[in-house]
Amino acid sequence: MTRFFGTPANVHVGQLFIDRRELHDARVHRPLRAGISGTAAEGADSIVLSGGYVDDQDHGDYILYTGHGGNDGATRRQIADQSPTARGNAALITSMVNGYPVRVVRGADKKSRYAPPAGYQYAGLFTVSSYVTRPGRDGFLIIQLRLDRLAEQPPLVTRESAESDPAFATTTVSRRIRDSALSREIKAQYGHSCQVCGTAVPAFGDRLYAEGAHVRPLGRPHLGSDSLQNLLCLCPNHHTQLDFGGMVILDDLSVATTKTMKPFADLRWRKGHEIDVENAAYHRSLWTPPEQEPQEQAAA
């Protein structure tokens, strides 16, 4: 089954669950024991926060989350170092690199002001903002990840109001989070290499970073499709250039700067993938007046 990133249908923020089996059946958190769901290759789609590590810090809208490994289940004390390559930790780092949303579930914990009194509660989608490797309270190295709650979600009703952290960022950027299965598919098909420049941005370890770019924008009024015929694998620079009209795609599927309409690259293609030229034409129409179209296109 393809890993799902986002809030499952028929699940709402604040929903209570009796046990881990109910979380599993609702596709909120699939593992019945592990606190992190995911792999290094795919990323992490969900975590459970239940006070299992002494270094966890829950501030409501942001969490300093201790990765997994080296923990004594009986005493909840750290007895060994953690590693960024351990399965759950590597999964969360992959989600950080790729910007995947992570479902956060809180389990009953008397020490937390935000935990439910019993069972489990879905707290919504968070993003992994950063991580550090540092000594924990018990003297062993821990992987501590910061997760920030995404905006544009219903507020979670808790015993106390969530804390803000104005020192962390002076501005926020909100993106609509959607299931990124197609985006992950197109990036895997191109080995995370940009179809314009061939760049694969190196990230932590052996990870590479790229972005799935819709040629015809999604949503109203554009109504672009979330399909492979409307997706490119691009580096962050060329994705931004496409989204903000700095470049357009011509009918021969070469790429031109909008200001001059002169091609500077041919899109790279892998077998079985090519975008619909109508999507390219629609995107071009957003940024170029008809008289600026190249002569050979105007005559076509």
HSE-CB of 207 using CA atoms within 13 angstroms: 21
Which of 8, 85, 3, 98 lies closest to 45 in space, CA to CA? Answer: 3
Per-residue pLDDT at 32: 95
Domain spans of the chain, in order of start: 16-149, 181-299
CA-based R_g, the chain, Å: 22
Per-residue pLDDT at 201: 95
Over its length of 300 residues, how does the chain's per-residue pLDDT go in tens digits?
A: 678 999 999 999 999 999 999 999 999 999 999 999 999 999 999 999 988 899 999 999 999 999 999 988 888 889 999 999 999 999 999 999 888 999 999 999 888 889 999 999 999 999 998 888 889 999 999 999 999 999 889 888 777 777 766 545 433 444 444 446 888 899 999 999 999 999 999 998 899 999 999 999 887 778 889 899 999 999 999 999 999 899 999 999 999 999 999 999 999 999 999 999 999 999 999 888 654 544 443 333
Residue indicated by tokens 């972005």: 211
Do residues 224 and 275 make contact, with C-beta atoms less than 8 angstroms apart? no
β-strand pairing of 77-78 with 71-72:
antiparallel
Residue indicated by tokens 């389990």: 107
Cα 116 to the center of its chain, rounded Å: 26
Per-residue pLDDT at 149: 94
Give the CATH number of domain 16-149. 2.30.280.10
How far apart CA 215 and CA 198 sit, in angstroms, is 18
- The 254-257 sheet, strands edge to edge: 247-249, 254-257, 263-266
Per-residue pLDDT at 253: 96
Do residues 265 and 254 make contact, with C-beta atoms less than 8 angstroms apart? yes
What is the pTM for the complete model shown? 0.76
Residues 57, 113, 147, 182, CA torsion sign: positive
Residue indicated by tokens 């910061």: 146
Q: In Å, what is the CA distance from 55 to each residue of 4, 69, 139? A: 28, 13, 11
Helices (H), the chain: 20-25, 87-98, 181-189, 236-243, 277-287, 295-299
